[in-house]
């Protein structure tokens, strides 16, 4: 599943070396290692301190890592080029708020990868969960139409690109690639892994400029001193203002 997701990232995001990526729900850092190979500036957040600890052990100083909830990101507007949710949205109580935050801190694209609720793979796993404890008993998979509606609710009518990848049974082997190419299953909405990239379109975009000089206390305006101290009538105000202008 990770390999299929990484292939969709390359196709839908086209990340460029040096771009800042924020992996929301980064876990132990599997995909951050992939982004590191692409030459991206690495940043990851996760609600679990244990996950962040393991990610830090794997990535060291190559990545900025924080224990943070996806619904409340402690970053400035437009701070990152790309934000990704890879098997994260399924575990969130408020996915819409998490998407709003991702759009706020991102200036190019937001990428979402989820387990497809309409795939045979997901349906089989859900059925297995009826008879034994399973991870799929604690997640909320999504389909293409749900993801697109989420994006429209949060970002409006923005450009979207999507793809699907199928997890084939082991016995299919090399035939899987031929089947996918022949039937163009990359755009079949019933694949096991679903990926969607939304391009951020700004109505208002902030430009964060750091102060490079110290601030000094401003002196009191001359006009303010004259009008308050010497003017009791509207005629007096007009007279003094004319005197000042001369």
Task: Please name the residues in contact with 103: beta carbons below 8 A apart, sequence gap of 6 or more.
Answer: 83, 110, 154, 155, 198, 200
pLDDT for residue 214: 66
Q: What does pTM read for this prediction?
A: 0.74
CA-atom Rg of the chain in angstroms: 26
136, 176 Cβ separation under 8 angstroms: no
Domains and CATH numbers, the chain: 2-199 (3.40.50.150), 212-246 (no CATH)
DSSP for residue 130: T
Between CA 140 and CA 148 the distance in angstroms is 16
pLDDT for residue 234: 43
Pick from 158, 152, 160, 157: which is nearest to 13 by CA?
160
Between CA 206 and CA 202 the distance in angstroms is 9
pLDDT band at 182 (very low <50, low <70, confident <90, very high): very low
63, 43 Cβ separation under 8 angstroms: yes
Comparing 7-16, 49-58, 167-176, 184-193, which segment has the lowest mean pLDDT?
Answer: 167-176
Q: What is the pLDDT of residues 136-148, one digit of tens each?
A: 677 888 999 999 9
pLDDT for residue 49: 96
35, 190 Cβ separation under 8 angstroms: no
3-state SS class at 82: strand
26, 44 Cβ separation under 8 angstroms: yes
CB atoms inside a 10 Å sphere around CB 77: 15
Chain-centroid distance of CA 231 in Å reads 57
pLDDT of 111 > 80? The answer is: yes
pLDDT for residue 241: 43
184: left (phi over 0), alpha (psi -120 to 50) or beta: left
Q: What is the pLDDT of residues 18-64, one digit of tens each?
A: 999 999 999 999 999 999 999 999 999 999 999 999 999 999 989 99
Can you tell me the mean pLDDT for 123-132?
Answer: 70
Pick from 138, 40, 50: which is nearest to 87 by CA?
138
């Amino acid at each position: 599943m990770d390999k299929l997701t990484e292939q969709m990232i390359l196709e839908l995001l086209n990340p460029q070396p040096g771009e800042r990526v924020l992996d929301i729900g980064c876990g132990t850092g599997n995909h951050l290692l992939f982004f590191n190979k692409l030459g991206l500036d690495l940043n990851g957040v996760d609600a679990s301190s244990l996950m962040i600890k393991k990610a830090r052990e794997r990535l060291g100083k190559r990545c900025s890592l924080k224990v943070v909830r996806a619904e409340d990101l402690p970053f400035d507007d437009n701070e990152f080029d790309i934000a990704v949710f890879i098997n994260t949205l399924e575990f969130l109580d408020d996915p819409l708020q998490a998407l709003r935050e991702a759009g706020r801190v991102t200036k190019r694209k937001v990428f979402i990868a989820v387990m497809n609720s309409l795939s045979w793979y997901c349906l089989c796993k859900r059925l297995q969960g009826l008879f034994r404890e399973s991870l799929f008993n604690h997640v909320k998979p999504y389909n293409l139409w749900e993801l697109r509606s989420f994006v429209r609710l949060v970002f409006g009518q923005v450009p979207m690109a999507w793809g699907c990848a199928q997890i084939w049974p082991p016995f299919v082997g090399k035939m899987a690639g031929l089947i996918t190419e022949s039937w163009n299953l990359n755009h079949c909405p019933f694949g096991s892994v679903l990926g969607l990239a939304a391009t951020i379109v700004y109505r208002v975009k902030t430009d964060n400029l750091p102060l490079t000089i110290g601030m000094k206390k401003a002196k009191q305006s001359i006009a303010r001193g004259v009008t308050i101290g010497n003017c009791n009538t509207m005629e007096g105000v007009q007279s003094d203002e004319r005197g000042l202008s001369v």
